C-alpha cells in the first residue's frame, strides 16, 4: 500500500519547524512560514485525493516499522528529559513525575513487556482524514494569520522578548504532532504525539515568560500530563492483558463488550477529558488565554482540544451503553451547562470565547459518550462548525484588540460603525455558533432527539437549559456590536494586516459554504464515516428535515437582505431617543441633575454576582472530580470483580 | 399535503384578525376587571391603522429592517407550524426571530429600549427550556417532531403531558409579555420602564411590532390546541374552549399581579419548568 503523502504530512511540519528555528531574518522566516503552510494545505488535499482515488477505503499502512517504533521511543524519552529539566528549573518538581512515570511504563512495556501482536502503525479512514482537513486548513490559516499578528504583537509589546522563531517553530511542531496523532493507529505512537501536543501547548502558553503565563502554563502541563499518565497506563494495561496496542482493535473489542478493554477504555476516555478541557480540568484552557492570540486560536479550534474530542469519537462505539459512556456523557453535559453560565458572566471577549469553547466541547463529549450514530453525527458537525467559527472569532478578536486596544465586549459597543470589516467577520463567527440556520442548530436538534431516544433524561435537561444560556451570551454580544455608538466620533484605525484579512476572509467563506453545503457533506462524507464506525446507520437527515432546512437557510439569508433593501427606500424623519426630556442634543448624552452634560453608557447584563466564575468554578470542580473518582472506581473495581 | 397549504395560507390571512380580536377582547375584559367601560372591540385594529398612516419617525435607520425580519421570521414560524413541519424547527426559527427583536431594541442605544431588550433576552433564556422540553414531550408521546403526525392522534396529549402543558401555559405569560412577567415592555403607563423594548418604535414600526405579536399569539395558541386535539370534532371544540380559557387565565393573571423582578422571574420559571415538565418527562421515559 503506498500513500506516500502520509509520512510527508507528519514529517514535513517538523522539518519546517527546524528550518524556521534556525532562520533569524524575519522576512525570510515569514516567507518560509507562508510557503510551508501552503504546502501543508496542498499535501492534505493531496492525501484526500489519493485516498478517494484509492476507493475511500480504510487504509492501513506500515505493519513492520520497528525502527520507527524505536525512534519514537527515543524521542519520547528525550521529551521526558526536557519536561523534567523545565520542571526543575521552575521548581515544580512533582510535575516531572507525571512525565517520568508514564514514559518509564511505556518504555518498560516496549522493551521488556510481552510482545504485542503486529498491527498497522498508520490507519486512514473518514474520521482521521476529516481531522487532517481541519488541521491542514484551519491550522495552516492560523499560521498565515500569525505572521501578521506576531509582527504587530512585538511592535506593541516591547516588554516581551521577541522570540518569534521559537513561536513559529512551536506552531509547526504542533501541526506535525496533530497529524501524527490522528493518523496513527498504534497506541504507542499515539501516546508520543499526545505528549508532544501537551508540551507544545505548555510552551506556547508560557511564551511571554510573565509570572502569570508561567503559572498557567504549568497548570496546563500537569493537567495534560495527568491525562497522559492515564493514557499510558491504559495502553500498557491493554497491551499486557490483551496483547494488542492497536486503537482500532481496542474499539472493535470494546464494541463487542469484551471485559478486558473496560479499564483501558475508561482510562483513555479519562485522558481525553483532560485534553478536551472538561470539568474539572477546564481551568487550563482558560489560563491559556495569556498567550498571544494565534496560539489560543490554534489550541481552541484546530488542535489540542480537538485531539481529546477525536479520541472520544473513536472510542464512542465502545462506550455506548457502558458505565464509561455514562460517565463521559454526564461530565460533558454538565460542562456544557455550567460553563455556559460562566460565559454569561464574562465581558472579556477572549474569556467568553474560552468558556464557550469548553461549553461546546462539553456537548461534543456528551455526544461521544452516548455513542450512537446519531449523536456522533451531531458531534461531527458541532466539531466542524466549532473549528471554523472559533478560529475565525479568535483571530477576529485578536485583530480587533490590536485596533481597538481592548478586547472587552463592552468596548465593542457599535463596533460595526468603528471597525466595520472586523465587526462583520465577528458577526458571521457568532452566527455560526448558535443562530439558525448554521449547523450548530441542527446538531443540537439531532443530539436532543438522540438523548430522548436513549431515555437519557439528564442529557435532555442539560441540552434544554444549556441551549437557553448559550443563546443568551452570544445574542448579547451580537447586540453590542450593532448598537449605535458614541465612539463613531473618535476614529480608530483599522490596522489589520493583509495576511490577517486573507485568513479571516477564507474562514468566513468556509463558514458560509459549510452552512449551505452541510446536507451534501452529511450525505457524501459523514454518512460513510458513520457506516465505517458503526456498521449500520440511518440517515439522520430525513428529506422532510432537509427541506425545512433549505427553507430556513434561504429565509434567514434572504429576508434580512430584502428587508434591508426595502427599508432603505422608506422616507423617515429622525428623532431623538426618549430620555425623559433630558437629552443633550443627541442620543449619546444627557443633562444630569447638576445641569451638566454626561455621556450615556449602556451596558449588557452579566449576572456575575449570581453565576460568575468565582461562584461556580470551584464547586463544579469538586462535584465533577467527585463524580469522576466515584465512577472510575466503579469501573475499575467492577472490572476487577 | 394540499390541506397543509390551506392551513398555512389560512394562518397568514386569518392570524392578524384573530390576534387583533383577541387583543380587543383582552382590553375589554381587562377594563371590566378594572371597572372601566373599555375601548370598542375593534380598537386594536383602529390603532394599527392609525399607526400606519402616521409619519415615519425613527431613532435609528436600521430598526425597520430588523423589525421586518422579525415579522417575516415570525410568519415563517407560524406557517411551518400550521403546515405540519418539525415543531422543534418551528421554535428554532421563533428564537431566531426573537433575536432580531432584541437587535431592534438595542440598535438605538436608547436607555429604556436597551434595558427592555436586555430583559427580553433574559425572558428568552427563562422560557426556552420549557419550550424545548414541550417539543421533547410531544416527541415522546407521538414518536415524532412532525406537527402533522403529532396532530393525527386519537387521544388528547394533555392526558400524557399534563406537566408539559402547565409549563407551557406558565411561560405563555412571559411570551405574551403579560404581568407579572412583563419585564421587557409594560402595557401599563407610567412605569420605570416607560415602554421598554418598544419605547423607540414609532408609527409603522410599532404597527409592525403589534401585528407580529398577533401572529405570535395565534401561533402559541396553536401549540396550546395541539395539546388538546384528538381528531374528532369534539376535540376541536375542546381545543378552542381550552385556548379561550387559557387566554382568559392570562388576562386574569395580568390584572391581578404586580411585575416581578427579572431575577425572580428567571428562577421561578426554571423551577416551575423543572418540576412540571421535568417530572412529566421522567415519568414518560420511565414508563415507556
**CB–CB contact A555 B99 (8 Å):** no
Buried b (16+ CB within 10 A) or exposed e, A195-205: bbbbbbbbbbb
Task: Kindly state the average pLDDT of the residues A218-224.
Answer: 91
Question: Given B111, B129, B145, which is nearest A465 (Cβ)?
Answer: B129
Residue located via cell numbers 449547523: A439
pLDDT digits (tens, 9 = 90+) for A560-578: 788 778 777 777 777 888 8
How many angstroms separate the CA atoms of A59 and A457, rounded? Answer: 39
Task: State residue B56's pLDDT score.
Answer: 80
Query: Which residue on chain B is closest to A549 by alpha carbon?
Result: B89
Whether A25 has a pLDDT exceeding 90, the answer reads no
**CB–CB contact A552 B107 (8 Å):** no
Share above pLDDT 90 across residues of chain B, in percent, rounded to a whole number: 43
* Alpha helices per DSSP H over A483-584: 498-521, 527-534, 543-569
Cα pseudo-dihedral A335, A339, A340, A345, rounded to 10: 170
**CB–CB contact A465 B146 (8 Å):** no
pLDDT category at B189 given cuts 50, 70, 90 is low
Work out the angle between the directed axes of helices A126-133 and A527-534 (0-180°, nearest 10): 140
pLDDT category at B12 given cuts 50, 70, 90 is very high
- Cβ partners under 8 Å of residue B10, min gap 6: B82
CA distances from A370 to A214, A319, B192 (A): 37, 7, 49
Question: Given A436, A471, A568, which is nearest B93 (Cβ)?
Answer: A436
**What is the CB-side half-sphere exposure of residue A218 using CA atoms within 13 A?**
18
Query: Which residue on chain B is closest to A609 by alpha carbon?
Result: B263
How many angstroms separate the CA atoms of B219 and B83, rounded? Answer: 12
pLDDT category at A546 given cuts 50, 70, 90 is confident
Query: Which residue on chain A is closest to B122 by alpha carbon?
Result: A472
How many angstroms separate the CA atoms of A250 and A324, rounded? Answer: 14
How many angstroms separate the CA atoms of A491 and A488, rounded? Answer: 7
- A544 chain-B contacts, CB cut-off 8 A: 85-86, 146
> How distant is the Cα of A195 from the closest Cα of chain B, in angstroms?
40
B128, B141, B206, B278, best to mutate vs chain A, most A CBs in 10 Å? B128
Question: What is the Cα Rg of chain A in Å?
Answer: 25
**CB–CB contact A548 B80 (8 Å):** yes
Whether A289 has a pLDDT exceeding 70, the answer reads yes
pLDDT digits (tens, 9 = 90+) for A486-516: 666 667 777 778 888 888 999 999 988 888 8
> How distant is the Cα of A333 from the closest Cα of chain B, in angstroms?
15
Handedness of CA B180, B184, B190, B191 (dihedral sign): positive
pLDDT digits (tens, 9 = 90+) for A261-274: 888 899 999 999 99
How many angstroms separate the CA atoms of A35 and A55, rounded? Answer: 30
**CB–CB contact B65 A563 (8 Å):** yes
> How distant is the Cα of B53 from the closest Cα of chain A, in angstroms?
13
How many angstroms separate the CA atoms of A552 and A558, rounded? Answer: 10
How many angstroms separate the CA atoms of A72 and A74, rounded? Answer: 5
How many angstroms separate the CA atoms of A251 and A537, rounded? Answer: 17
CA distances from B185 to A232, A497, B33, B69, B138 (A): 59, 44, 21, 20, 31
pLDDT digits (tens, 9 = 90+) for B147-180: 888 888 888 888 889 999 999 999 999 988 888 8
- A548 chain-B contacts, CB cut-off 8 A: 80, 85-86, 89
> How distant is the Cα of B199 from the closest Cα of chain A, in angstroms?
7
Q: Which of A154-163, A269-278, B90-99 has the lowest mean pLDDT?
A: A154-163
> How distant is the Cα of B254 from the closest Cα of chain A, in angstroms?
25
**CB–CB contact A468 B128 (8 Å):** yes
**CB–CB contact A563 B118 (8 Å):** no
Contact of A391 with A142, CB cutoff 8 Å: yes
Q: What is the DSSP letter of B60?
A: S
- B140 chain-A contacts, CB cut-off 8 A: 452
A474, A482, A543, best to mutate vs chain B, most B CBs in 10 Å? A482
Question: Given A455, A467, A579, which is nearest B128 (Cβ)?
Answer: A467
Share above pLDDT 70 across residues of chain B, in percent, rounded to a whole number: 98
B111, B203, B273, best to mutate vs chain A, most A CBs in 10 Å? B111
**CB–CB contact B285 A455 (8 Å):** yes
Task: Kindly state the average pLDDT of the residues B234-257.
Answer: 90
Cell of B68: 421586518
> How distant is the Cα of B41 from the closest Cα of chain A, in angstroms?
31
Task: State residue A1's pLDDT score.
Answer: 44
Q: Is the peptide bond before B180 cis (omega within 30 degrees of 0)?
A: yes
> How distant is the Cα of A562 from the closest Cα of chain B, in angstroms?
9
What's the full length of chain B, in residues?
288
Task: State residue A441's pLDDT score.
Answer: 77
- Count of CB atoms within 10 A of residue B113's CB? 29
**What is the CB-side half-sphere exposure of residue A372 using CA atoms within 13 A?**
21
**CB–CB contact A472 B58 (8 Å):** no
Question: Given A465, A555, A587, which is nearest B110 (Cβ)?
Answer: A587
B279 or A559: which leads in pLDDT: B279
Whether A294 has a pLDDT exceeding 60, the answer reads yes
Whether A2 has a pLDDT exceeding 70, the answer reads no
- B117 chain-A contacts, CB cut-off 8 A: 479
pLDDT category at A241 given cuts 50, 70, 90 is confident
Whether A438 has a pLDDT exceeding 80, the answer reads no
Task: State residue A439's pLDDT score.
Answer: 65
- Cβ partners under 8 Å of residue A71, min gap 6: none
ipTM of predicted complex: 0.92
User: β-strand B57-58 against A573-574: which pairing, if any?
Assistant: parallel
How many angstroms separate the CA atoms of A518 and A523, rounded? Answer: 8
- The mean pLDDT value of chain A amounts to 86
A576 or A187: which leads in pLDDT: A187
Amino acid at each position: 500500500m503506498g500513500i506516500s503523502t502520509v509520512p510527508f504530512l507528519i514529517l514535513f511540519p517538523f522539518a519546517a519547524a527546524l528550518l524556521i528555528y534556525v532562520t533569524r531574518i524575519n522576512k525570510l522566516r515569514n516567507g518560509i512560514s507562508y510557503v510551508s503552510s501552503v504546502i501543508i494545505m496542498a499535501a492534505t488535499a493531496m492525501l484526500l485525493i489519493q485516498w478517494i482515488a484509492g476507493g475511500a477505503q480504510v487504509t492501513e499502512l506500515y505493519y513492520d516499522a520497528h525502527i520507527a517504533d524505536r525512534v519514537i521511543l527515543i524521542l519520547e524519552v528525550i521529551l521526558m528529559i526536557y519536561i523534567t529539566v523545565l520542571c526543575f528549573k521552575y521548581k515544580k518538581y512533582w510535575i516531572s513525575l507525571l512525565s517520568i512515570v508514564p514514559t518509564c511504563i511505556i518504555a518498560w512495556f516496549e522493551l521488556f513487556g510481552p510482545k504485542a501482536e503486529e498491527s498497522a502503525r498508520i490507519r486512514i479512514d473518514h474520521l482521521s482524514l476529516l481531522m487532517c482537513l481541519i488541521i491542514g486548513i484551519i491550522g495552516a490559516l492560523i499560521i498565515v494569520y500569525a505572521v501578521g499578528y506576531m509582527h504587530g504583537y512585538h511592535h506593541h509589546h516591547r516588554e516581551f522578548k521577541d522570540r518569534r522563531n521559537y513561536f513559529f517553530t512551536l506552531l509547526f511542531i504542533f501541526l506535525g504532532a496533530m497529524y501524527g496523532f490522528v493518523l496513527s493507529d498504534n497506541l504507542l505512537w499515539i501516546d508520543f504525539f499526545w505528549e508532544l501536543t501537551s508540551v507544545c501547548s505548555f510552551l506556547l502558553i508560557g511564551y511571554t515568560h510573565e509570572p502569570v503565563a508561567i503559572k498557567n502554563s504549568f497548570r496546563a502541563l500537569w493537567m495534560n500530563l495527568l491525562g497522559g499518565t492515564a493514557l499510558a497506563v491504559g495502553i500498557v494495561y491493554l497491551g499486557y492483558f490483551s496483547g494488542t496496542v492497536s486503537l482500532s482493535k481496542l474499539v472493535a473489542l470494546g464494541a463487542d463488550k469484551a471485559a478486558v478493554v473496560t479499564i483501558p477504555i475508561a482510562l483513555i476516555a479519562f485522558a481525553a477529558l483532560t485534553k478536551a478541557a472538561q470539568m474539572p480540568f477546564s481551568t487550563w484552557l482558560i489560563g491559556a488565554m495569556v498567550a498571544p492570540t494565534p496560539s489560543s486560536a490554534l489550541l481552541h479550534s484546530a488542535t489540542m482540544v480537538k485531539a481529546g474530542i477525536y479520541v472520544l469519537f473513536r472510542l464512542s462505539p465502545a462506550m455506548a451503553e457502558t458505565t464509561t459512556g455514562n460517565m463521559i456523557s454526564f461530565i460533558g453535559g454538565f460542562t456544557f451547562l455550567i460553563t455556559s453560565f460562566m460565559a454569561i458572566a464574562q465581558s472579556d471577549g477572549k474569556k467568553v470565547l474560552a468558556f464557550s469553547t469548553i461549553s461546546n466541547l462539553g456537548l461534543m463529549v456528551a455526544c461521544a459518550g452516548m455513542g450512537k450514530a446519531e449523536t456522533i453525527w451531531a458531534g461531527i458537525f458541532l466539531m466542524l462548525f466549532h473549528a471554523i467559527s472559533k478560529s475565525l472569532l479568535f483571530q477576529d478578536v485578536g485583530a480587533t484588540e490590536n485596533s481597538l486596544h481592548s478586547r472587552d465586549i463592552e468596548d465593542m459597543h457599535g463596533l460595526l460603525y468603528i471597525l466595520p470589516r472586523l465587526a462583520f467577520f465577528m458577526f458571521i463567527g457568532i452566527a455560526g455558533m448558535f443562530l439558525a440556520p448554521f449547523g450548530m442548530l441542527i446538531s443540537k436538534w439531532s443530539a436532543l432527539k438522540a438523548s430522548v431516544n436513549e431515555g437519557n433524561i439528564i442529557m435532555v435537561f442539560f441540552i434544554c437549559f444549556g441551549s437557553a444560556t448559550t443563546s443568551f451570551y452570544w445574542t448579547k454580544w451580537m447586540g453590542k456590536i450593532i448598537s449605535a455608538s458614541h465612539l463613531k466620533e473618535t476614529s480608530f484605525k483599522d490596522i489589520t494586516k493583509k495576511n490577517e484579512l486573507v485568513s479571516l476572509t477564507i474562514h468566513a467563506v468556509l463558514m458560509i459554504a459549510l452552512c449551505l453545503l452541510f446536507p451534501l457533506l452529511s450525505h457524501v462524507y459523514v454518512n460513510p464515516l458513520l457506516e465505517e464506525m458503526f456498521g449500520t446507520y440511518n440517515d439522520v437527515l430525513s428529506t422532510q428535515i432537509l427541506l425545512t432546512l433549505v427553507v430556513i437557510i434561504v429565509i434567514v439569508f434572504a429576508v434580512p437582505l430584502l428587508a434591508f433593501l426595502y427599508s432603505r427606500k422608506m422616507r423617515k424623519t429622525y428623532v431623538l431617543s426618549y430620555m425623559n426630556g433630558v437629552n443633550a442634543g443627541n442620543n449619546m448624552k444627557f443633562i444630569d441633575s447638576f445641569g451638566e452634560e454626561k455621556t450615556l453608557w449602556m451596558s449588557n447584563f452579566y449576572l456575575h454576582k449570581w453565576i460568575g466564575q468565582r461562584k461556580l468554578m470551584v464547586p463544579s470542580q469538586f462535584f465533577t472530580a467527585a463524580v469522576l473518582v466515584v465512577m472510575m472506581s466503579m469501573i475499575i473495581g467492577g472490572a476487577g470483580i | 399535503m394540499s390541506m397543509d397549504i390551506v392551513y398555512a395560507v389560512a394562518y397568514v390571512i386569518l392570524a392578524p384578525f384573530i390576534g387583533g380580536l383577541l387583543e380587543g377582547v383582552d382590553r375589554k375584559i381587562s377594563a371590566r376587571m378594572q371597572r372601566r367601560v373599555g375601548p370598542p372591540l375593534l380598537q386594536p385594529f383602529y390603532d394599527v391603522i392609525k399607526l400606519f398612516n402616521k409619519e415615519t419617525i425613527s431613532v435609528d435607520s436600521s430598526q425597520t429592517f430588523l423589525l421586518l425580519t422579525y415579522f417575516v421570521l415570525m410568519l415563517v414560524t407560524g406557517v411551518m407550524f400550521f403546515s405540519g413541519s418539525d415543531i422543534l424547527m418551528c421554535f428554532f426559527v421563533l428564537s431566531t426571530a426573537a433575536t432580531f427583536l432584541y437587535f431592534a431594541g438595542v440598535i438605538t442605544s436608547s436607555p429604556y429600549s436597551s434595558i427592555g431588550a436586555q430583559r427580553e433576552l433574559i425572558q428568552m433564556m427563562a422560557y426556552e427550556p420549557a419550550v424545548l422540553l414541550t417539543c421533547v414531550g410531544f416527541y415522546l408521546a407521538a414518536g415524532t417532531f412532525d406537527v402533522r403526525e403529532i396532530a393525527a392522534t386519537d387521544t388528547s396529549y394533555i392526558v400524557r403531558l399534563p406537566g408539559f402543558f402547565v409549563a407551557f401555559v406558565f411561560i405563555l405569560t412571559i411570551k405574551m409579555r403579560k404581568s407579572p412577567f412583563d419585564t421587557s415592555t409594560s402595557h401599563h403607563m407610567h412605569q420605570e420602564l416607560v415602554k421598554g423594548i418598544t419605547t423607540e418604535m414609532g408609527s409603522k414600526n410599532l404597527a409592525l411590532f403589534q401585528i407580529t405579536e398577533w401572529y405570535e399569539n395565534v401561533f402559541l395558541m396553536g401549540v396550546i390546541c395541539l395539546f388538546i386535539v384528538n381528531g374528532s370534532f369534539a376535540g376541536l371544540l375542546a381545543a378552542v374552549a381550552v385556548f379561550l380559557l387559557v387566554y382568559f387565565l392570562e388576562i386574569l393573571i395580568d390584572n391581578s399581579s404586580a411585575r416581578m423582578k427579572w431575577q425572580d422571574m428567571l428562577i421561578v420559571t426554571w423551577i416551575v419548568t423543572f418540576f412540571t415538565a421535568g417530572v412529566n418527562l421522567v415519568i414518560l421515559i420511565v414508563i415507556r
